[in-house]
């Protein structure tokens, strides 16, 4: 089986995913009977590629490393933007890895919609479309008979959606509680070690996982988008991030950390979703937790999620200090599950 891919977005995750494809190519052919070809790569400002033949992925990776651009790739290079490329695309599957827009989920929503309307399966690691338009996109995928997977949108490669889908049949999800933003968790851990908020933010930035403007993390917006995505998929919340009751950690100071420690507590930014009479209540807030809490040992860039169910009780999953490889693996695993569904004739 040959699977032709289009990549929308070619940043750190996209490049790491391509490395996985190269590293696992022999295994995919030998074990899965699957040959994956990338014919399209589209970026917003670093050039795009379009080719009838499989693209030289090693060359694409070298150019991004050496020049930060695909524009000198060769005759396959084009100035087409993602939306324009998708209109000319005849790939089997689109991998959507563009940057999160916390205000609307765009343009990723339109990328996914265009791919589905053209009959292409879609995998995304962009939480925006799931947080803002999950029901719409799910229904569109069903109506078009295409597959739609998004494991990498929350907790990197940790199999949250797949866990519920594949191993908890018949369970009702009664609530979700998680440490979902690794940057804010790292900052709080650094402050527990004596650093100020400003020093902790600079350390996170120097390590490459905090943006120049860390507002999305420390003000709770990233966590809000993630708990919304989780609740939309697992609890049919029909929500968007603006509906989350949100307070971040911007006002936490060293004295707050010390006061908590003297009481045998830690401050954590925790996102939650729970059923209420008129739907699902979503919150992101700093909380004091003690040693008996399942998140007590979740420090650094680790994250965690407790899934409350009617039949299996509470299940807690902890992801320890992930790297970009884990997010790329989520895309890779979604690809394999999509291929399994194609071969079995299910959507």
Residues acting as catalytic residues: 226
318: which residues sit within 8 A by CB, 6+ positions away?
297, 298, 302, 303, 304
How distant, in Å, are the alpha carbons of 12, 135, 181, 212 from that of 209? 11, 30, 11, 10
Strands (E) located in the chain: 2-8, 35-42, 48-50, 77-78, 93-96, 121-124, 148-149, 173-179, 245-246, 266-276, 279-289, 303-309, 314-319
Token code pair at residue 303: 């994250």
Locus of tokens 């908890």: 168
CB contact at 8 A, 247 and 277: no
Tell me the CB-side half-sphere exposure of residue 27, using CA atoms within 13 A: 7
How distant, in Å, are the alpha carbons of 265, 280, 286 from that of 283? 21, 10, 10
CA 43, CA 85: separation in Å to the nearest integer?
A: 10
CA 285, CA 269: separation in Å to the nearest integer?
A: 5
Token code pair at residue 277: 């009479």
Strands (E) located in 158-232: 173-179
What's the angle, vertex CA 88, arms to CA 85 and CA 89, rounded to 5?
Answer: 80
Token code pair at residue 95: 């991998």
- Biggest CA pair distance of the chain: 65
CB contact at 8 A, 328 and 19: yes
Q: Are strands 93-96 and 2-8 parallel, antiparallel or unpaired?
A: parallel
């Amino acid at each position: 089986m040959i699977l032709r891919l289009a990549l929308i977005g070619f940043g750190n995750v996209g490049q790491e995913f391509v490395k996985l494809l190269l590293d696992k190519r022999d295994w995919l052919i030998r074990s899965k009977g699957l040959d994956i070809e990338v014919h399209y790569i589209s970026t917003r400002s670093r050039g795009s590629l379009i080719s009838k033949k499989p693209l030289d992925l090693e060359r694409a990776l070298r150019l991004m490393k050496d020049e930060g651009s695909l524009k000198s790739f060769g005759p396959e290079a084009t100035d087409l933007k993602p939306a324009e490329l998708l209109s000319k695309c005849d790939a089997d599957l689109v991998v959507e890895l563009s940057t999160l827009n916390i205000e609307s989920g765009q343009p990723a929503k339109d990328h996914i919609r265009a791919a589905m309307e053209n009959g292409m399966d879609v995998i995304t690691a962009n939480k925006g479309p799931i947080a803002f338009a999950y029901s719409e996109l799910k229904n569109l995928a069903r109506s078009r008979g295409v597959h739609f997977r998004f494991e990498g949108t929350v907790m990197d490669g940790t199999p949250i959606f797949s866990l519920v889908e594949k191993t908890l049949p018949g369970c009702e999800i009664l609530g979700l509680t998680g440490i979902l933003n690794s940057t804010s968790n790292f900052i709080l851990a650094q402050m527990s070690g004596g650093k100020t908020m400003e020093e902790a933010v600079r350390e996170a930035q120097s390590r490459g996982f905090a943006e120049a403007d860390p507002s999305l993390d420390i003000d709770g917006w990233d966590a809000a988008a993630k708990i919304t995505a989780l609740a939309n998929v697992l609890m049919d919340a029909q929500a968007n991030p603006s509906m989350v009751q949100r307070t971040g950690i911007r006002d936490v100071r060293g004295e707050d950390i010390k006061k908590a420690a003297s009481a045998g507590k830690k401050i954590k930014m925790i996102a939650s979703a729970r059923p209420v009479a008129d739907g699902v209540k979503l919150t992101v807030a700093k909380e004091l937790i003690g040693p008996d809490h399942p998140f007590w040992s979740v420090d650094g860039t680790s994250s965690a999620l407790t899934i409350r169910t009617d039949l299996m009780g509470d299940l807690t999953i902890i992801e320890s200090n992930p790297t970009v490889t884990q997010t790329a693996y989520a895309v890779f695993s979604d690809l394999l599950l999509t291929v399994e569904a194609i071969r079995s004739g299910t959507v």
